[in-house]
Amino acid sequence: MGDRKTIEDRLVLLGTKGGPAIRPGGPSPTSSLLEIGGRRCVIDCGLGVTRGLVEAGVTLKELDLIFITHLHSDHILELGPLIHTAWTTGLKTPVTVFGPSGTAAYWTGFLASMRYDIDLRIADEGRPDPRDFVTVVEYGEGPLGLEGLEVSALRVKHPPVTECFALKFRTPDWCVVFSADTTYFPPLAGFASGCDVLVHEAMLADGVDKIVEITGNGERLRTHLMDSHTLAPDAARIASAAGAKQLVLNHLIPADLPGFDEKDWLAATRGHYAGPITIGRDGLTLTRSAQ
């Protein structure tokens, strides 16, 4: 890993779309880069995370920490391919993956699926064995026990998933909280109290109606979305109750349907949060020094 002292604190939204589908020219599913306190943290690994990191200027062989909030495919699908691609570009230093129960089984399964290629490259190209320096730590609520960076988890409500966690990253200089996928969950405000940035998932009610209209299993999908995700006004209410200094809307539903744009998100949150609101888009970067 590179010199931690040279890493400027920043947040990069790599993928901002809710759900696993992708469309021509549209945003990618969920992933973020948080560089904080000299540590390089990848939060969730939806499809496109590897390219997103490269385009954000990250040297893949300097991967450090990866956090998975839950095991829906739009949050974990590219975890194995990210690490494998980093390995083929020279990764040989320790990487720790923090994830909920089931993450270790995912990693074991990925290694098994790629055993031929991994063993061949070790023998043919002299690469170190990634099984020796990638560690998976399965976590629950509470502190994650990292040296030099305070990270803690809060179980949120994302039925039918039970192992889904908001994450808080804190140093003496900066505090960033990710809601993960969750329905409106008031305890999150206490968890995020006083944070500098709250990255919260968000839906537009009119957008849900449009999605239901164009999909074949519309009513079942509506039930899932309304039971498992947060409408934009409620995300703003959480930010207000937390006293968050900035709200970033992410995991957007809808993210790429015609007829919905930034003004719709701002209208939906108006009057519920007095601070600055940023509507997520792939590649959006916030730096601590710019806040």
Per-residue pLDDT tens over the stretch 150-185:
999 999 999 999 999 999 999 999 999 999 999 999
74 is catalytic: yes
H or E element at residue 182: none
At which residue do the structure tokens 């190209």 appear?
A: 125
Q: Which two tokens stand for residue 188?
A: 């999150």
pTM of the predicted structure, to 2 decimals: 0.95
Q: According to the model, what pLDDT value does residue 290 have? A: 64
- Per DSSP, the three-state class of 231 is strand
DSSP string of 3-71, one letter each residue: -GGGPPPEEEEEE-BSSS---TT---BSEEEEEETTEEEEEEE-TTHHHHHHHTT--GGG--EEE----
Considering only residues 60 and 217, tell me which one the structure prediction assigns the higher pLDDT: 60
- Cα angle for residues 264, 266, 268 (degrees, 5° grid): 70
Mean pLDDT score of the chain, rounded to an integer?
A: 94
Distance between CA atoms of residues 278 and 157, nearest Å: 24
| Residue 70, pLDDT above cutoff 50 | yes
Residue 128 has φ and ψ, to the nearest 5°, of -70, 155
| Range from 61-70, 151-160, 187-196, 214-223 carrying the lowest mean pLDDT | 214-223
| Residue 123, pLDDT above cutoff 50 | yes
In the beta sheet, which residues pair with residue 10? 35, 287
Q: Which two tokens stand for residue 182?
A: 């969750």
* Residue among 81, 82, 74, 79 at smallest CA distance from 21: 74
Confidence of residue 265 (pLDDT cuts 50, 70, 90): very high
Considering only residues 258 and 35, tell me which one the structure prediction assigns the higher pLDDT: 35
| Residue 277, pLDDT above cutoff 70 | yes
Give yes or no for a contact between 9 and 149, defined as CB atoms under 8 angstroms apart. no
182-219 in b/e form (b: 16+ CB < 10 A) is bbebeebbebbeebbbbbbbbbbeebbeebbeeeeeee
Q: What is the pLDDT of residues 226-238, one digit of tens each?
A: 999 999 999 999 9
Catalytic residue among 74, 181, 196, 234: 74
